[in-house]
Structure 1
Amino acid sequence: MYYFLTHTINDKLAGLEIAMINRLKIFREMDVPAKIVTFHFNRQLHENMKHWSIPESDMLSMFDFFQNAVSLPTDFEMQNDVEQITARLIEEHDGELDVQANDRAVSFLDRQRQLKARINRNGNLATSIEWFDRNGNLVRRDGFDTRGFLSIATFFGQDGGVAHEVMYDIAGNEVINSYYHEQANGEIGNTLLILKQNDVEMMFSDLDHLAAYFYDQISIVNGEQSTFIADRSYLVDKPLFLMKNTVKKYEFWHNTFTTDYSPEGPLVPVMENEINSGQLNGYLVPTRAAAVDLEKRLPASIPVHNISVALNDEMPTVLPFEQRDPDKIILVARIEEQKNISDALKAFKIMRDQRSTLKLYVYGYILDIKLNERLQDQVRDLGLEGSVIFKAYTLSKDEIYQNAQLLLLTSRNEGWGMVINEAFTYGVPVVSYDTKYGPSEVVTDNQDGYIVEQGDYQAMASKSLELLADDEKRVDFARFGVDAMRAFDLKASAERWKALLEKI
């Protein structure tokens, strides 16, 4: 069994988790058992899995594991019907509660018009029930898993913060008690977890130690040792290295590994800790250049293997350029400093000054609110209002790429740059900084796109305008890009992974 480790699967994902989901498809193609493993509590996990088409058989959550809820019985009856809960609460209070309902919640007030309880709802299903004391303070919140069972009760202390949590199995039995207190750094944090398993109580000082115990529990499958691949390293490394069982441990490094993005710079602290742990069997990196650079920095006892993260399991419809919006330029990046969106705006300013009808569409969720505000200010300062459109996060690749003329990429650093592959499958040429790592191994300069020097937004603007002005070249670039992506289809990707698994 191969386990791919991250913290959770959210409704909005970074390229790292998308790479993990793609890897699951490859392992299914090879008929090699594998699962994504998570250890953060997430009541929406299974709804998110549906969004990302992850079968239950390919996912293992620590809390599902301990709550006996990895998969629910076929005859399971949902416990969060709003009407049933409402009727029960009215009966328990002898009909003395006044009920007020709207599309978002059902509120219960006593004779003094004091709020006693509130059912938060999504249609006919309750998402949570909140309980209030005589002074109107929130004292308890019961949360339902999206599959319909009471999963957690959260109790709030005198300052309104979380003091205690109880997690339940699908039969309503207490499984985990979690306690919160002030820590040495002055912050309130999780200081004790008590797991009840097979009528035995076990205590853990924090979530990492509980996760290490969980990893040990799943480490042997059918009598064989499992292999753990850490993807979200900075979150999963501690429990991975706290394990008692001996297993194979690999780090999949999805990004640059130095603090200044140069191959010779100081290693990031997370990697320093991994190397010093003495437990690693090796690193996996998505680009050849990263493999060469990283190998120079590691002891000979830790091998580095190159394996691409990209996968194109289906080729979309490629629209002819004459059917696309002639002015649509796209940037696909979450709002954070790493993506260096400011440079893209500077490049686009030069482009828009030469061709006033151009529009830049920025697709991505907001990770840094203050940066988003600065980018909005920059748009105004550059006089680009109405020409730069920030779009909400969307799962629809057709919406993003199908109607576009060009993709810009200005990241300070990348592990691969999955958006390049996505753009090429839609026949969208790419103009990218020579970012470490990824773009130069996907884009063939002057064949399916352009690679310009890191930070040279003037060159990016110049190459983009050149390509926009040459219809024939743009068509050629699009064709070459689509052809290049055939090397990343499911079968080709599976062959590369088969060769790697023979080594590790």
Structure 2
Amino acid sequence: MHYFLTNKFEYNLSGIEHAQLYRWRMFTDLKVESKIITFDFTPELDRFLFRHGIGRSLSLNMFDCWQNVLQSAIQENEFENDFPNLRLRFEYYGPRTTPNYLLSKNKIKLVQYFDDNQQLMTEDHWDIRGFRSLRLDFSDGNIIKRSWYDLDGNVVLTEINGQLTITEHNPQFASTGNNTFTSWQQLKVAWLDFLVSRDNDAVLYIDRAEYVTPIVLAMENKAVPVYIILHSAHTKDRNDPMGAPFNEIRQLEIDRKERWSAYIASTPQQAKDFEVRSGIKTYTIPVSQVSQTAIPLAQKPKSIRNLVYTSRISREKRIEDAIYAVEKLVKKYPDIKLRIYGYVTDGEYNKELYTMIKRLQLEENVYLLPYQVDRTDIFSQADIFILTSEYEGFNMSMLEAAAYGVPTVAYDVKYGPAHLNEQLKTGALVESGNIDALAKQINALIEDDEGYKIQQSQSQAQAIKQFGSKVVGQKWQNFLEKEALIRESRRWVYDFDFSSNHNALAPANLAIGQYAQDEGFSPLSYPEVINMDRDSKLENINMGDIVLTGYPSFYKTMPTVLQYDLDLARKIKQMGAKLIMLVEDSLSLRELTNFVENELATLNVADILMVLTEQMKGELISLGIKTPILVQSPYPLPKGNISASSNYSGIRTKEILYSGNLTKAPFLESIAVEVDVFGPRISEKMRQNYKIRYHGSVPFSQLMAKLRDFRGFGLVWDGGDVPIKTDTGRYTRYNFPYKASQYLALEMPLIAWSGSAISGFILEHNCGILINNMSELKNRMEQLSQQEISNMAMNAKRLSKMVTEGTSFKSDLNRAISWVQD
């Protein structure tokens, strides 16, 4: 996994976070797994991510890791008053700027507890996803303790008198290591070490160097590759890159130059300058790119008057120079407009700009406007982009403007404007700080209508040619190959030897393992013990891998009441892998109440669930499953099993076969038609029923050989004569019994309860008959014509390929793989 390191996401993104998003999209296109890592506590993180169209899966926050919310979208925890004797004050998130499930009017943001003297005693901060995240305890108005909580309300971290302590509920907790830290910096270092310890292929990219470089330098792990992205100047005098002293953070890095694998700059000139001065290998890869598909150019009005400047409202951007340029032009062009879009990082400077606009009487010509996430309208309506910064390492907005056919007039400063102007072959550069020259070049573009149209189309064409996603993607591909950093995520399937087991899941799991291996999965054995400590690992699994496991595992499921399955799922996710879970059985839907809590917890850990029926999907959702659910085709049979098609193609009969666990088939004790029965645990009453021809209990592989010449129907039935009256019968409303796959493999039409989940499948494919209860079976069979039986048998033969060749299952598995990869 490749990790892009910054401090936090905010309501408005800086150029660094935008660069990380561009890189993440590029790596995704290259099939290289990556995540953006943030360290700061951000209870509104989900809101910020949604605002910028960022999926939660690409962001990994340190506190989310501790609080076990990496995979959880929403947790609607009910508010409970822990201090009924204190007075309460609430604050709520709002207004609704995201979907209701993320943010509603009654979503708690803050709860304060006061004593009778209005003294603040405790303050709870709630995450926007709906759970208490941080508690502050006060004494005499001072914070004496901070406590962070996970989704289940367990404390995962405390801070008392500057001492930070990780608890046993924190995934970073080490049973034999250090869990107490004297500073946040020390704890961040330990967390980053913890993160890369789970990933043998970890690669770090430092984006916000002033924040992240000291953390990386203090790591115990000195072997993980580290690359530093040059987003800004490397010297104190930004325009003297070869003579001026290095700035503080670059000097710190150069003093430890042996730690860095390489630097990456956006322009060839900065890469050359930095490599010559530092002696550290430096690549050239732009921090931004444009779509390979040309954006339809807006039809501009005859007069060119709309200027735009998108930037942080910060003093080094010298926005006042652009305003002064407009002042020089407004007499000639009274309708000229300069719209400045940006978020404020310097409040005092922002006030000065407002005052300046008013003083120059430009209120009708110059507008200070808020930052815009979607800038389509901004550039579609703009004629000229203005850039007056003291320094620009690249400038993504200048490139973005070109993609919309908008030329730029910019100050000639290091490094971005000169490089982009050269590559785009449009717009103009003027001497830095020369406002007269800036106004003159703007005027030249306004007056040259034909020349402007040429620049408009040329700037877009050059932007795609020089900075299109394919071009920049190839630069990243070359970098990754040269640095030997490409690692394909691996695929694993948990395999358990069921060969001596008569359970229906024995052949199902065998088949799943076989066909998964056809799709590139390698087998793993279930671990005897699952250690949740930070230093413990699962065999072979690394961050970014895909793991396929059946649920329940039935390895240690029953004796641990599913705790084994839950721990395994959590450990897989703790390792940073993607988890596909095949729901072969549901103990909750089997009405085993003591398994419900752990089942729901286990299923909500997975990245995607595969189930056999729409009915099971719907019921699991109603029980509280949030994990995406894919409905798959029937389970296949293991390879090498003999199907009827290899030995028999004659006329079908009205004989009936039942195969399965006979404790779930009490209806056989009183069945009134002749049935051939295979299976374990036959009851005495069944033995006494002369209608039953019992053939014993045999392993699945032998059973298929014995049944190769059977000419009749396969009975899919559990419970009593009326299934709805028994728990095993009611369960058939949701599942697709494996015996149905077995019968279809033998090209046998099916008999099933009309209220079962499989009934829809039988009706859709006309591959059997449905009855309401067992008393109807005899008459229904007698009514069947040979033509009806032949049609059903022909349809069953067609369906047999679905379960004997595994093609449908592999197609479904690949759908699940695509889901977790995307």
> TM-score higher than 0.5 here?
yes
Match of 1:501 in 2: 480
* SS at 1:394 equivalent: coil
Q: Distance in 2 between matches of 1:162 and 1:34?
A: 38
In the alignment, the residues of structure 1 paired with residue 195 and residue 109 of structure 2 have an alpha-carbon distance, to the nearest angstrom, of 30
2:165 — aligned with what? Answer: 194
Asked if the contact 2:386/2:410 (under 8 Å) is kept, the reply is yes
1:13 Cα deviation after fit: 0.8
Give how far 1:397 is off: 0.5
Shift of 1:162: 4.2
2:92 aligns to what? 120
CA-CA distance at 1:163 after TM superposition: 4.0
Structure 1, gaps ≥5 residues long: 95-109, 181-190
Structure 2 residue 114 is matched with structure 1 residue 136: no
User: For the structure 1 residues 303 and 444, does the alpha-carbon distance in structure 2 shift closer, same or farther, using more than 3 Å as the test?
Assistant: closer
Distance 1:125 1:415, change over 3 A: same
**Equivalences for 1:345-494 in 2 at 5 Å?**
345-444=323-422, 447-486=425-464, 487-494=466-473
> 1:243 corresponds to which residue?
219
Q: Which moved more, 1:240-249 or 1:201-210?
A: 201-210
- The DSSP-based 3-state class of the residue aligned with 2:217 is helix
| One of 296, 301, 304 as aligned partner of 2:276 | 296
Shift of residue 445, structure 1, vs aligned partner: 8.7
CA distance in structure 2 between the aligned counterparts of 1:62 and 1:272, rounded to whole angstroms: 28
Offset at residue 492 of structure 1 (A): 2.0
- Paired letter, 2:234: F
- Report the 3-state secondary structure (helix = DSSP H, G, I; strand = E; otherwise coil) of the residue aligned with 1:296: helix
Instruction: Provide the identity percentage.
Output: 28
Give the counterpart letter for 2:47 in structure 1: E
Deviation (angstroms), 1:5:
0.2
Show CA shifts across 1:219-241 (max 9, x none).
1455x241111000001111111
Distance 1:19 1:161, change over 3 A: farther
| Matched residue type, 1:194 | T
* 1:106 aligned partner: none
The residue type paired with residue 489 of structure 1 is G
Q: Which has the higher contact order (CA 8 A, sep 6+)?
A: 1
TM-score of the pair, normalised by structure 1? 0.86
- Residues 9-88 of structure 1: pairs in structure 2 closer than 5 A: 9-72=9-72, 77-79=75-77, 85=79
Deviation at 1:326, TM superposition (A): 4.3
Shift of 1:203: 1.0
1:14: Cα distance to partner?
A: 0.9
- TM-score, normalised to structure 2, is 0.54
Q: CA 1:282–1:162 in structure 2 vs 1: closer, same or farther (change >3 Å)?
A: farther
SS at match of 1:377: helix
Give the distance between the partners of 2:210 and 2:119, measured in 1 at CA: 37
Task: Note the aligned Cα RMSD (angstroms).
Answer: 2.2
> Whole-Å Cα distance in 1 between the matches of residues 431 and 218 of structure 2?
43
Give 5+ residue unaligned stretches, structure 2: 95-104, 484-822
For 1:369, give the aligned amino acid: G
8 Å CA contact retained: 2:236, 2:247:
yes
Q: Which one of the candidate residues 195, 202, 219 is aligned to 1:218?
A: 195
**Aligned counterparts of 2:477 and 2:214: Cα–Cα separation in 1:** 29
Partner of 1:107: none
CA contact (8 A) 1:434 1:451 kept: yes
Aligned-partner residue type, residue 59 of structure 1: S
Change (3 A) 1:225 1:474: same
Deviation at 1:78, TM superposition (A): 0.8
CA–CA separation in structure 2 for the residues paired with 1:175 and 1:53 = 30
Kept in 2: contact 1:448–1:476 (CA 8 A): no
Whether the 8 Å CA contact 2:424–2:462 is kept in 1: the answer is no
Q: CA deviation at 1:155?
A: 2.9
Q: Deviations over 1:58-109 (max 9, x none)?
A: 2211111111111117xx6411xxxx53xx55x9859xxxxxxxxxxxxxxx
Letter of the structure 2 residue corresponding to residue 212 of structure 1: V
Deviation digits for residues 145-175 of structure 1, max 9, x if unmatched?
22222111123453x4544321111111000
C-alpha contact 2:305 2:383 (8 A) present in aligned 1: yes
Report the equivalent of 2:252: 273
Partners of 2:174 and 2:397 lie apart in 1 by 49
The 8 Å contact of residues 142 and 152 in structure 1, kept in 2 or not, is answered as yes
Aligned partner of 1:321: which letter?
A: K
Asked if residue 331 in structure 1 is aligned to residue 306 in structure 2, the reply is: no
For residues 221-273 of structure 1, give each alpha carbon's deviation from its aligned partner in whole angstroms, at most 9, with x where no partner exists.
55x24111100000111111111012111211100111111212111101111
* Counterpart code for 1:272: Q
Deviation at 1:285, TM superposition (A): 0.9
Q: Is 1:170 equivalent to 2:147 in the alignment?
A: no
* Contact in 2 for aligned 1:116/1:133 (Cα 8 Å): no
- SS of residue paired to 1:143: strand
Amino acid at match of 1:241: L
Report the AA paired with residue 321 of structure 2.
Answer: D
CA change 1:297–1:374 in 2 (3 A) is same
One-letter amino acid matched to 1:216: D
1:352–1:139 Cα change, 3 Å: farther
Report the CA distance between 1:142 and its aligned residue. Answer: 1.3
Instruction: Kindly indicate whether the alpha-carbon contact (under 8 Å) linking 2:124 and 2:135 is maintained by their aligned counterparts in 1.
Output: yes
SS at match of 2:301: helix
| SS of equivalent residue, structure 2 residue 212 | helix
For the pair 1:227 / 2:208, whether they are aligned, the reply is no
How far has the Cα of 1:329 moved from its partner? 0.9
**Richer in strand (by share):** 1
Distance 1:117 1:47 in 2: 23
After TM superposition, the structure 1 = structure 2 runs for residues 147-162 of structure 1, keeping only pairs within 5 Å, are: 147-158=129-140, 160=141, 162=143
Alignment length (residue pairs): 461
What's the offset of the Cα at 1:372? 1.1
What is aligned with 1:104?
none
Structure 1 window deviating more from structure 2 (39-48 vs 275-284): it is: 275-284
Q: Distance in 2 between matches of 1:121 and 1:134?
A: 27
Q: 283, 291, 306: which one pairs with 2:263?
A: 283
With over 3 angstroms needed to count, the CA separation of the structure-2 counterparts of 1:209 and 1:445, relative to structure 1, is closer
Using the alignment, how far apart are the partners of 1:288 and 1:132 within structure 2? 60
Quote how far apart the aligned CAs of 1:116 are.
3.4
- Distance apart, 1:135 and its partner CA: 2.7
